[in-house]
Homo-oligomer: A and B are copies of this chain.
Amino acid sequence: MSKQVDGQIGTVAALVRSTFLVNAVYADSAREYGLTQQQGQLLCVLMAQPYGMSELGAVLRLAKSSLTGLVDRSERNGLVQRKPDPEDSRAVRVALTRQGAKLADEFYTETCRRIEELTSGFAAEERETLAALLGRVVMDNKVPTVFLEPGPTR
């Protein structure tokens, strides 16, 4: 059943192991900016726009009580800011502070650089094929935008 030519890795193992790799790179990068992986992820999500707590929970797949803590710590570190939602006084909008935006940008850029390096041995065409296929995985499974498209340095 498993279509495995010798020396070649199966799809499942390839996905799991590359996930392990990307995770490690992401965490290392975060660490160098004084962030945990989760805090880095929060910043990256907020780069796109401010979110309410509930929305954020959905995007990051966190229980609301988990999120309160994460936002608390990030706020304490001056990276994000809770602002009252003008339309709903129960709700809150979480946004990057100026300092948070700056750090997010640096972290994001450096992380992109490192992730890109993982395919440094690839030809442009191969990289495109990989992007297309993984892109389909992402789309088919409705993965939220936890990471923006690399900026238009185009």
Interface on chain A toward B: helix, strand, loop, or mixed SS? helix
Distance of A33 from chain B, by nearest CB (Å): 16
- Tell me if A63 is interfacial: C-beta within 8 Å of chain B: no
Copies in the complex: 2
Choose one: B13, B15, B24, B118; the contact of A61 (CB below 8 Å): B24
Within 8 A of B (CB), among A23-48: 23-24, 26
- Tell me if A143 is interfacial: C-beta within 8 Å of chain B: yes
- Tell me if A21 is interfacial: C-beta within 8 Å of chain B: yes
Choose one: B9, B15, B146; the contact of A17 (CB below 8 Å): B146
Q: Is the CB of B147 within 8 A of A116?
A: no
The 10 lowest CB-CB distance pairs between A and B, nearest first, are A9-B135, A14-B134, A16-B147, A19-B22, A11-B131, A130-B133, A17-B138, A19-B19, A12-B115, A17-B143
Q: Which A residues are closer than 8 A to B by beta carbons?
A: 1-4, 8-24, 26, 61, 111-112, 115-116, 118-122, 124, 126-141, 143, 145-150, 152-154
